[in-house]
Structure 1
Amino acid sequence: MGKVIVFANQKGGVGKTTTAVNIGAYLAEEGKKTLLVDFDPQGNLSSSLGSDTKKPGIYEVIMGKINIKDAIQDTVNDKLYILTSNINLSGASVELVNVDKREFYLKNCLDQVKDYYDYILIDCPPSLGIITLNGFAAADKVIVPLQCEFFALEGFFKMLFETIKRIQKTLNPSLTIAGIVFTMYDSRTRLGNDVISKVKTVFAKHPELLFHSVIPRNIKLSEAPSHGKTINIYAPNSSGAISYKKLAQEVIKRV
């Protein structure tokens, strides 16, 4: 049965989608059959792979308009597949608001295909609405990308511990943290090092919650989505590619 990982952070612009798509690419490169689930109405994960968002995707699946197996698309990466999203998914927040067990729609859909994949990776919006709650309810593990900037730390620890504790109590008792991954690190600035140092101090008694791989600021990582490619195809020798490859290997060992 596939392992389901949700990528979450209440703050936007921290490299969440970039992390999800490139971990997925390297899991596939390692021979792991991987399904990417774009569960964000912005559809950035879908566009970063150049996927066809006009075809039925995750919104139509959770609304019962199409079977999940018929909505999954191939990508240019062997063993990497995707369930796309588009702005229609934003309507799910309204359509599900009065529905019984509305937090489990995504889980019920993914349970139908878990046996076909080694990993299922869910990219959620930077919020705690019904869409993100569906992601938490469906997942086994959470990966939290953390930008190496001061404002990224504001509210971060409260979100991480209180939110996940609440999810465990109400929706998904088996949900655990796979790890925090530092993103957009600039070795030339003191700030990036200060953020990492502070987080390591907080987690001194639980170092297993921090991934060793640190993702640098890298222009190739920014360019790759505009070409509809993952970093292992667009710029495999770049610092961003090397870092995500190491991170994916860590994920395989941990999850």
Structure 2
Amino acid sequence: MTAPYDPTDREKVVAKLPAELRKELKVRAAELGKDIQDAVTEGVEAWRKAKGRPVVDTAGGTSFATYLPAGLYGKLKQDCKTRSVSYNQGIAQSIRLWLDSNPSPRPRPARVTGARRIIFGNQKGGVGKTSVSAGVAQALAESGHRTLLIDFDPQGHLTKQLGYPMLDIDEASLAKHMLKEAKGGLSELLVPIKGGDFEEHLWLLPACKDAFLLDAKLATTKAVRIKETALEKALEPVEQEFDYIIVDCPPSLGYSMDTALYYCRTRDGEEPNASGIVVPVLAEDSSADAYDMLYDQVQDLIEDMDIDIALLGFVVNMYDSRKGFVATSSLDEWRNIGEPPVLAVVPELKDQREAVRVKKPLLVHAPYGDQADVMRTVARRISA
């Protein structure tokens, strides 16, 4: 049978929906590994065939946007008119119908290895580790996962971009906890990130300038293996509070990176690829050179400590095909590697730059833009 519309021809649609319905949709879609636009499309198609659907309370609704096939969008508007319901109500009923028809899967068994640990690293600076790690953490939290986002870079770009102050150099910090120089618990340093549909599911561990001293102090310690295990020991007290711990790593190959790589290793009893490293890159040669150095560091640590570290994939950031052959051929080369795979390609758009400028999370500033959707794609792929 021929589809009444071309599924590749979609147009943006905007409705006013209550926050709880939006959150439920995003969580369920993530649980089932489905794009939000596909979930809404299925709901609209089912709603058009259904009769007598109950009214959904849309009071206090705020903006929600997605993409529907152009032909289906027009049919939905006509059906709403025929049934004497508002367009917002038609969308709300469609989503409610999809949720009712697609129940949450059975919860997975409780983890015995703590939170899943994903680090974002690349020796080269300026590739977007901070923006990608922050966006993916927001997307995971938006999907209902309790997520901790750690600024492990002494430059503190992540902390500042989200509008939070760095920890004072005389205060307790992650580095001091790693070196066993801090008083109090690490959980006292965590800050809830407000806004968006991820609120109450996302926390930040801010950066502190004392992290500049971390490599030197780790290098001079006499304790056996503290260089590799320091981050894990520091985070151990808070792990059971979270589903995911996301680490924005510094652009270096020093001891700090070693301890982050050890932290994301596959632990005994943990499923393959549950934790690991995501490598943000650009579609150009210097990113490839930097990845070669990072790959060598990973392999050296694997052999030295007899561990497994999963390379989860690349995120090609700030991609613009208009840059010509250098960009397009480089993207092809990243894809041709095969393993690890390219998880997603982030288009070069203004959304992220604007979010940084106004010091807001991307999924608050531009929650329905193409870059936000890519962050959700990466989150869905690493959580599958």
**TM > 0.5:** yes
1:199 aligns with 2:328: no
Superposition map of 1:231-242 within 5 A: 231-242=362-373
Q: 1:104 to 1:54 in 2, by over 3 A?
A: same
Q: Which moved more, 1:163-172 or 1:104-113?
A: 163-172
Amino acid at match of 1:68: L
Amino acid at match of 1:189: K
CA distance in 1, matches of 2:321, 2:360: 26
Given the alignment, which residue of 226, 239, 248 partners 1:123?
248
Given the alignment, which residue of 262, 279, 297 partners 1:137?
262
Does structure 1 conserve the Cα–Cα contact (< 8 Å) formed by 2:118 and 2:247? yes
CA distance in 1, matches of 2:302, 2:175: 25
Amino acid at match of 1:78: E
Residue 96 (structure 1) aligns with: 218
SS of the residue corresponding to residue 179 of structure 1 reads strand
Residue 85 (structure 1) aligns with: 207
Residue 348 (structure 2) aligns with: 217
CA distance in 1, matches of 2:283, 2:327: 5
Q: Which moved more, 1:117-126 or 1:89-98?
A: 89-98
1:92 CA displacement: 1.7
Does structure 1 conserve the Cα–Cα contact (< 8 Å) formed by 2:152 and 2:250? yes
Residue 269 (structure 2) aligns with: none
SS of the residue corresponding to residue 196 of structure 1 reads helix
Q: TM-score, normalised by structure 2?
A: 0.61
Amino acid at match of 1:175: I
Paired residue total: 248
Amino acid at match of 2:293: M
CA distance in 2, matches of 1:113, 1:174: 23
Residue 181 (structure 1) aligns with: 315
Given the alignment, which residue of 231, 238, 241 partners 1:113?
238
| CA displacement 1:99-126 (0-9 Å, x = unmatched) | 1222211111112221111100111111
Does structure 1 conserve the Cα–Cα contact (< 8 Å) formed by 2:227 and 2:258? no
Q: Which moved more, 1:31-40 or 1:221-230?
A: 221-230
Q: 1:171 to 1:79 in 2, by over 3 A?
A: farther
1:130 CA displacement: 1.4
Q: TM-score, normalised by structure 1?
A: 0.91
Superposition map of 1:44-63 within 5 A: 44-54=157-167, 56-63=172-179
Q: 1:121 to 1:46 in 2, by over 3 A?
A: same
Residue 150 (structure 1) aligns with: 285
| CA displacement 1:180-218 (0-9 Å, x = unmatched) | 111110022222211111122233xx3xx2134211111
Q: 1:163 to 1:232 in 2, by over 3 A?
A: same
Amino acid at match of 2:287: A
CA distance in 2, matches of 1:20, 1:12: 14
Structure number with the bigger relative contact order (C-alpha 8 A, sep ≥ 6) is 1
Does structure 1 conserve the Cα–Cα contact (< 8 Å) formed by 2:315 and 2:345? yes
1:32 aligns with 2:152: no
1:172 CA displacement: 6.5
SS of the residue corresponding to residue 143 of structure 1 reads strand
CA distance in 2, matches of 1:150, 1:161: 15
What's the % identity of the aligned pairs? Answer: 26
Q: 1:155 to 1:84 in 2, by over 3 A?
A: closer
